[in-house]
Amino acid sequence: MESLSSNPDLAWDLESFSEAKRAIEFVKQFETTLCVYSATVQQLYTNYDMFFPEEWEGKMVLLPNPAAFHDTFNHVAPESVTATGLYIIPGGFVGKSGLFLANVQDKDGERSLGKRQVPFEAGMRAIMERRPKSDPFLPVLAKGDLRELEQSWPVLHLHRVNPNSVEHLSGFDKTSIASVIQEKLESLFHALS
Protein backbone atom coordinates (compact mmCIF):
# COMPACT_ATOMS: atom_id res chain seq x y z
CA MET A 1 0.00 0.00 0.00
CA GLU A 2 3.08 2.20 -0.16
CA SER A 3 1.98 3.69 -3.51
CA LEU A 4 -1.07 5.24 -1.82
CA SER A 5 1.03 7.88 -0.08
CA SER A 6 2.23 9.13 -3.47
CA ASN A 7 -1.19 8.65 -5.07
CA PRO A 8 -4.09 9.34 -2.70
CA ASP A 9 -6.51 9.09 -5.66
CA LEU A 10 -6.34 5.30 -5.28
CA ALA A 11 -8.02 5.28 -1.84
CA TRP A 12 -11.72 6.13 -1.98
CA ASP A 13 -13.68 6.90 1.18
CA LEU A 14 -16.73 4.82 2.04
CA GLU A 15 -17.08 6.06 5.62
CA SER A 16 -19.90 8.48 4.87
CA PHE A 17 -22.03 5.83 3.16
CA SER A 18 -24.98 4.72 5.27
CA GLU A 19 -25.15 1.52 3.17
CA ALA A 20 -21.44 0.80 2.58
CA LYS A 21 -22.07 -2.86 1.74
CA ARG A 22 -24.55 -1.86 -0.97
CA ALA A 23 -22.03 0.66 -2.34
CA ILE A 24 -19.30 -2.01 -2.46
CA GLU A 25 -21.55 -4.47 -4.30
CA PHE A 26 -22.55 -1.76 -6.76
CA VAL A 27 -19.05 -0.49 -7.57
CA LYS A 28 -17.49 -3.98 -7.83
CA GLN A 29 -19.44 -4.66 -11.02
CA PHE A 30 -17.39 -1.98 -12.80
CA GLU A 31 -13.95 -3.22 -11.71
CA THR A 32 -13.08 -4.72 -15.09
CA THR A 33 -15.26 -2.50 -17.25
CA LEU A 34 -14.46 1.15 -16.43
CA CYS A 35 -11.05 2.77 -16.39
CA VAL A 36 -9.93 4.94 -13.46
CA TYR A 37 -8.14 8.28 -13.73
CA SER A 38 -5.75 9.75 -11.15
CA ALA A 39 -5.18 13.50 -11.46
CA THR A 40 -2.44 13.41 -8.80
CA VAL A 41 -0.08 11.34 -10.97
CA GLN A 42 -1.80 12.05 -14.32
CA GLN A 43 -2.34 8.38 -15.07
CA LEU A 44 -5.22 6.40 -16.55
CA TYR A 45 -5.51 2.84 -15.22
CA THR A 46 -7.18 0.28 -17.44
CA ASN A 47 -6.22 -2.78 -15.40
CA TYR A 48 -6.67 -2.64 -11.62
CA ASP A 49 -8.20 -4.47 -8.69
CA MET A 50 -10.47 -3.16 -5.95
CA PHE A 51 -9.67 -4.03 -2.34
CA PHE A 52 -11.44 -3.28 0.92
CA PRO A 53 -8.70 -3.78 3.54
CA GLU A 54 -9.81 -4.45 7.09
CA GLU A 55 -7.02 -2.28 8.47
CA TRP A 56 -8.39 0.62 6.43
CA GLU A 57 -12.02 0.30 7.40
CA GLY A 58 -14.21 2.56 5.34
CA LYS A 59 -11.84 2.68 2.36
CA MET A 60 -11.83 1.16 -1.08
CA VAL A 61 -8.33 0.82 -2.49
CA LEU A 62 -7.66 0.58 -6.21
CA LEU A 63 -4.37 -1.09 -7.08
CA PRO A 64 -3.10 -1.10 -10.67
CA ASN A 65 -1.90 -4.49 -11.83
CA PRO A 66 1.91 -4.27 -11.45
CA ALA A 67 2.46 -6.99 -14.04
CA ALA A 68 0.52 -5.01 -16.64
CA PHE A 69 2.40 -1.70 -16.70
CA HIS A 70 1.45 -1.35 -20.38
CA ASP A 71 -2.19 -0.98 -19.24
CA THR A 72 -1.41 2.34 -17.54
CA PHE A 73 -1.31 5.52 -19.61
CA ASN A 74 0.97 8.28 -18.34
CA HIS A 75 0.96 12.06 -18.89
CA VAL A 76 -2.83 12.32 -19.13
CA ALA A 77 -3.27 15.94 -18.05
CA PRO A 78 -6.19 16.84 -15.77
CA GLU A 79 -7.51 19.28 -18.40
CA SER A 80 -8.23 16.33 -20.68
CA VAL A 81 -10.53 14.68 -18.10
CA THR A 82 -13.80 16.47 -17.33
CA ALA A 83 -16.90 15.84 -15.25
CA THR A 84 -19.97 14.91 -17.29
CA GLY A 85 -22.85 15.38 -14.87
CA LEU A 86 -24.05 11.90 -15.87
CA TYR A 87 -24.52 9.11 -13.36
CA ILE A 88 -24.88 5.36 -13.51
CA ILE A 89 -27.69 4.44 -11.13
CA PRO A 90 -29.02 1.03 -10.05
CA GLY A 91 -32.44 0.29 -11.50
CA GLY A 92 -33.80 -0.46 -8.03
CA PHE A 93 -33.47 3.25 -7.26
CA VAL A 94 -36.19 3.96 -9.86
CA GLY A 95 -38.18 0.75 -9.30
CA LYS A 96 -36.70 -1.12 -12.28
CA SER A 97 -34.02 -3.69 -12.92
CA GLY A 98 -30.64 -3.16 -14.56
CA LEU A 99 -28.57 -0.01 -14.75
CA PHE A 100 -29.68 3.43 -15.84
CA LEU A 101 -28.02 6.63 -16.97
CA ALA A 102 -29.32 9.79 -15.31
CA ASN A 103 -28.44 13.31 -14.36
CA VAL A 104 -28.34 14.39 -10.75
CA GLN A 105 -29.23 17.85 -9.50
CA ASP A 106 -27.26 19.45 -6.71
CA LYS A 107 -29.24 22.04 -4.77
CA ASP A 108 -28.06 23.51 -1.49
CA GLY A 109 -25.60 20.65 -0.99
CA GLU A 110 -28.32 18.00 -1.45
CA ARG A 111 -28.22 15.73 -4.46
CA SER A 112 -31.40 14.51 -6.06
CA LEU A 113 -32.18 12.48 -9.14
CA GLY A 114 -33.07 14.41 -12.28
CA LYS A 115 -36.37 13.86 -14.09
CA ARG A 116 -35.09 11.60 -16.85
CA GLN A 117 -33.46 8.18 -16.61
CA VAL A 118 -32.64 6.00 -19.61
CA PRO A 119 -31.41 2.41 -19.78
CA PHE A 120 -27.64 2.54 -19.41
CA GLU A 121 -26.59 0.85 -22.64
CA ALA A 122 -29.06 2.71 -24.85
CA GLY A 123 -28.12 6.03 -23.27
CA MET A 124 -24.37 5.44 -23.56
CA ARG A 125 -24.61 4.29 -27.16
CA ALA A 126 -26.71 7.34 -28.10
CA ILE A 127 -24.20 9.73 -26.51
CA MET A 128 -21.21 7.98 -28.08
CA GLU A 129 -22.75 7.95 -31.55
CA ARG A 130 -23.51 11.68 -31.44
CA ARG A 131 -19.98 12.73 -30.52
CA PRO A 132 -17.55 13.75 -33.28
CA LYS A 133 -14.51 11.50 -33.76
CA SER A 134 -12.28 14.43 -32.78
CA ASP A 135 -13.98 14.62 -29.36
CA PRO A 136 -15.30 11.14 -28.47
CA PHE A 137 -17.29 10.33 -25.35
CA LEU A 138 -14.97 8.05 -23.36
CA PRO A 139 -16.24 7.60 -19.79
CA VAL A 140 -13.86 7.00 -16.88
CA LEU A 141 -14.04 7.12 -13.10
CA ALA A 142 -12.10 9.36 -10.73
CA LYS A 143 -11.86 9.60 -6.95
CA GLY A 144 -15.12 10.90 -5.53
CA ASP A 145 -17.28 9.48 -8.33
CA LEU A 146 -18.83 6.83 -6.07
CA ARG A 147 -21.58 8.73 -4.29
CA GLU A 148 -24.75 8.11 -2.35
CA LEU A 149 -28.24 9.48 -3.03
CA GLU A 150 -31.11 9.62 -0.59
CA GLN A 151 -28.98 8.19 2.22
CA SER A 152 -28.77 4.67 0.81
CA TRP A 153 -28.46 4.39 -2.98
CA PRO A 154 -24.95 4.19 -4.47
CA VAL A 155 -24.43 5.93 -7.80
CA LEU A 156 -21.37 6.49 -9.99
CA HIS A 157 -20.65 9.87 -11.49
CA LEU A 158 -18.85 9.69 -14.83
CA HIS A 159 -15.91 11.71 -16.05
CA ARG A 160 -14.79 11.61 -19.64
CA VAL A 161 -11.33 11.67 -21.13
CA ASN A 162 -10.51 13.29 -24.44
CA PRO A 163 -7.20 11.75 -25.50
CA ASN A 164 -7.00 14.09 -28.49
CA SER A 165 -6.51 17.02 -26.10
CA VAL A 166 -3.42 15.48 -24.47
CA GLU A 167 -0.32 17.03 -26.03
CA HIS A 168 2.25 14.58 -24.64
CA LEU A 169 0.61 11.39 -25.93
CA SER A 170 1.57 9.75 -29.17
CA GLY A 171 -1.07 9.09 -31.79
CA PHE A 172 -0.74 5.40 -30.95
CA ASP A 173 -1.46 6.04 -27.24
CA LYS A 174 -4.45 8.26 -28.07
CA THR A 175 -5.91 5.52 -30.25
CA SER A 176 -5.13 2.91 -27.60
CA ILE A 177 -6.92 4.88 -24.86
CA ALA A 178 -10.04 5.25 -27.01
CA SER A 179 -9.94 1.58 -28.00
CA VAL A 180 -9.51 0.17 -24.49
CA ILE A 181 -12.29 2.36 -23.03
CA GLN A 182 -14.66 1.35 -25.83
CA GLU A 183 -13.75 -2.35 -25.47
CA LYS A 184 -14.38 -2.23 -21.72
CA LEU A 185 -17.75 -0.55 -22.27
CA GLU A 186 -18.70 -3.24 -24.77
CA SER A 187 -17.81 -5.89 -22.19
CA LEU A 188 -20.01 -4.09 -19.66
CA PHE A 189 -22.90 -3.96 -22.15
CA HIS A 190 -22.43 -7.68 -22.82
CA ALA A 191 -22.38 -8.48 -19.09
CA LEU A 192 -25.63 -6.55 -18.60
CA SER A 193 -27.53 -8.28 -21.42
Look at the pTM and tell me if it is higher than 0.85.
yes
Dihedral sign, CA of 112, 121, 24, 12? negative
Q: For residue 31, what are the contacts with CB-CB under 8 A and spacing of at least 6?
A: 48, 49, 50
Q: Give phi and psi for 93, each to the nearest 5.
A: -65, -30
In this prediction, residue 139 carries a pLDDT of: 97
**Domain residue limits at 105:** 3-192
Is the Cβ–Cβ distance between 40 and 9 less than 8 Å? yes
Indicate whether 193 pLDDT > 80.
Answer: no
In this prediction, residue 114 carries a pLDDT of: 75
In this prediction, residue 4 carries a pLDDT of: 55
Domain count, the chain: 1
Q: What is the mean pLDDT of residues 77-89?
A: 94
